[in-house]
């Protein structure tokens, strides 16, 4: 298994507020306009799933498989050229701030890993950056 982790992102909102917003994926509808069309399109959300078309990869769909309030949300792929799991980890810093880290774990053969490691690392960083910029009030 290969593991990719984002850097830790500081969020100026309480852990519980961040968890509540991210644990219902319908709340991410508001960030659709922040996604560059050339990087991701056809974003669709339900409470438990998110689907996005990512050129040249294709359609990727994720489903929430576990919620551990207020610290973890775990996803697995429903549709993807490469099956993987994604975790969003949240920790309190103060009563008014928290920090977040994203982790992807995938079973990738070594040849493919050499070709896509940089893109996966860059992608998880961009997702973490986008999630850190959301207004969680």
The total of other beta-carbon atoms located within 10 Å of residue 128's CB is 19
Q: What is the pLDDT along the chain (137 residues), one digit of tens a residue?
A: 899 999 999 999 999 999 999 999 998 877 767 666 666 678 888 999 999 887 777 889 999 999 999 999 999 999 998 899 999 999 999 999 999 999 999 988 888 888 888 988 998 998 899 899 999 98
Instruction: Give pTM, 2 decimals.
Output: 0.90
Answer positive or negative: Cα dihedral of 76, 80, 129, 102. positive
Q: What is the pLDDT of residue 55?
A: 77
The total of other beta-carbon atoms located within 10 Å of residue 133's CB is 11
Rounded Cα gap, residues 89 and 11, in angstroms = 12
d(CA 17, CA 8): 18
Cβ atoms of 49 and 25 within 8 Å: the answer is yes
DSSP symbols for 65-111: EEEETTTEEEEEEEE-SS-EEEEEEEEEEETTEEEEEEEEEE---HH
């Amino acid at each position: 298994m290969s593991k990719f982790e984002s850097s830790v992102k500081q969020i100026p909102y309480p852990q519980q507020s961040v968890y509540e917003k991210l644990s219902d994926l319908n709340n991410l509808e508001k960030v659709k306009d922040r996604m560059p069309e050339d990087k991701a399109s056809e974003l669709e959300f339900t409470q438990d799933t998110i689907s996005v078309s990512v050129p040249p990869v294709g359609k990727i769909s994720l489903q929430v498989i576990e919620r551990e309030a207020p610290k973890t949300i775990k996803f697995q792929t429903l549709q993807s050229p490469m099956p993987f799991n994604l975790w969003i980890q949240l920790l309190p810093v103060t009563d008014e701030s928290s920090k977040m880290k994203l982790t992807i774990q995938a079973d990738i053969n070594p040849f493919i890993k050499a070709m896509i490691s940089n893109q996966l690392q860059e992608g998880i960083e961009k997702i973490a950056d986008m999630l850190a910029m959301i207004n969680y009030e």
